[in-house]
């Protein structure tokens, strides 16, 4: 039974050891018949939480 695997690369440097390790893992997982997706954090603008509570307006309390 194939599994869905998500790999998140967090290194900011291109072709880093972490990237190579993630790619090797993905190759092995694909060879075993799994569905693999790799997402890289390179070039993404990820900021810290500002405490605006915007995320809580979508939570529905019953």
Residue 58, pLDDT score: 66
**Residue 55, in any domain of the structure:** no
Q: Is the pTM of this model over 0.85?
A: no
What are the pLDDT tens digits along the chain (62 aa)?
889 999 999 888 888 999 999 999 999 999 999 999 999 999 888 888 888 887 777 665 54
The answer to whether residue 50 sits within a structural domain is: no
With respect to residue 19, please indicate whether it lies within any of the assigned structural domains. Answer: yes
- Any idea what the Cα angle at residue 17 is, between residues 47 and 49, rounded to 5°? 10
Asked if residue 23 is part of any domain, the answer here is yes
Report how many domains make up the chain: 1
Residue 32 to residues 16, 36, 50, 57, Cα–Cα distance (Å): 25, 11, 42, 42
Q: Is residue 29 a part of any domain in this protein?
A: yes
In a domain, 54, yes or no: no
- Is residue 13 one of the residues assigned to a domain? yes
Give the domain extent around 21.
4-44
């Amino acid at each position: 039974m194939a599994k869905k695997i998500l790999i998140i690369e967090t290194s900011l440097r291109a072709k880093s050891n972490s990237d190579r390790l993630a790619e090797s893992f993905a190759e092995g997982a694909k060879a075993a018949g799994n569905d693999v997706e790799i997402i890289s954090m390179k070039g993404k603008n990820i900021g810290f939480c500002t405490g605006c509570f915007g995320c809580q307006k979508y939570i529905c309390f019953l």
